[in-house]
Amino acid sequence: MAFIPLRETYLLGVIKVAMAEYILQILRSQLMIVFSWGFHCPTALPEDRGLSFLVDGFKYKGRVEVVYNDGLDLFEVCLEDGRTEDMVYADCLVNVIDGMVERVDNYKEAVRDFYFVEK
């Protein structure tokens, strides 16, 4: 499994990264998909609320925040352009982010056309 370093957020000198590490563990379970987003700069959110990272995806380029809702035991995915997906289960997290960042209809053809790859 590849190592993805985490930029730690310091709160009063104490590192709070348990939830960020858990989210990274979920993302590491499907590295090929995550790397297709151009995933980089993972950062723990303050107060151990979740994880923030940058993507350079096919559909979206910018910051993604994955925030944990401990009352519901679910995640919320927020993009800088204002789009959000809430009520996301852990086992659906990668697919939800992929749909927001990378995946389009006729994905293979769109990527081939984008990179001018011949059939």
Sequence-ordered strand ranges (E) for the chain:
10-11, 14-15, 40-44, 50-56, 61-69, 74-79, 84-88
Tell me the two tokens of residue 51: 């994880």
Q: pLDDT tens, 14-59? A: 445 689 999 999 999 999 999 999 999 999 998 889 999 999 998 9
Provide the pLDDT for residue 23. 96
Chain centroid offset of residue 48 CA:
16
Q: pLDDT tens, 65-90? A: 999 998 999 999 999 999 999 999 99
Tokens 């998909």 locate to: 33
| pLDDT surpassing 70 at residue 6 | no
